[in-house]
Structure 1
Amino acid sequence: MLDHAMELIEKESSQLEGILPKDYHAFNNDSLLHELLRLFNNDVLDDVGGDIIGRIYEYFLNKFAKNVAQDDGVFFTPKSLVKMIVYVLEPKKGILLDPACGSGGMLIEAVHHMHYSELCCGSIFGQEKNVTNAAIAKMNLYLHGAIDFNIMQGDTLREPKILQGGQLARFDCVIANPPFALKDWGAKEWNSDKYGRNLWGNPGDGCGDYAWIEHMVMSMARGTGRLAVVMPQGVLFRNQGKEKDIRRQMVESGLIEAVFPLGEKLFYGTGLSPCFLIMRRTMPANHSGRILMVDGSSILTPKRAQNVLEQKDIDKLYQLYVDYRDEEDYSRVVTLDDVRAKDYILSPSSYVQYHEEEVEPYESVRQRFMDAYEEMKRCEREFREAISDAGK
Structure 2
Amino acid sequence: MHIVIIGSGLAGSTTAQTLRDQGFDGDVTLVGGETHLPYDRPPLSKDYLAGSVAFDDDVVLHPREWYDEQRIDLRLGARADALDPKAHQVTLADGTTLDYDKLVLATGSTARTLDLPGADAPGVHTLRTREDSDAIRAEFGEGRRLVVVGAGWIGLEVAATARGAGTTVTVLEHEELPLLKVLGPEMAQVFADLHTQNGVELRPQVEVQEIVVENGRAAGVRLADGSTVEADAVVIGVGAAPELALAEAAGLDVENGVLVDASLRSSDPDVYAVGDIAAHDHPTFGRLRVEHWNAASTHPATAVAALLGGDATYTDAPYFFSDQFDLGMEYVGHAPQGSYARIVTSGDVAGREFVASWLDGSDRLLAVMNVNVWDGLDEVRSYVGSKDPVSEETLQVADQK
Is TM (by shorter chain) over 0.5?
Answer: no
Higher percent of residues as helix: 1
TM value normalised by structure 1: 0.23
Higher strand share: 2
Task: Point out which structure has higher relative CO (alpha carbons under 8 A, 6+ apart).
Answer: 2
So what's the TM-score if we normalise by structure 2? 0.23
Greater C-alpha Rg: 1
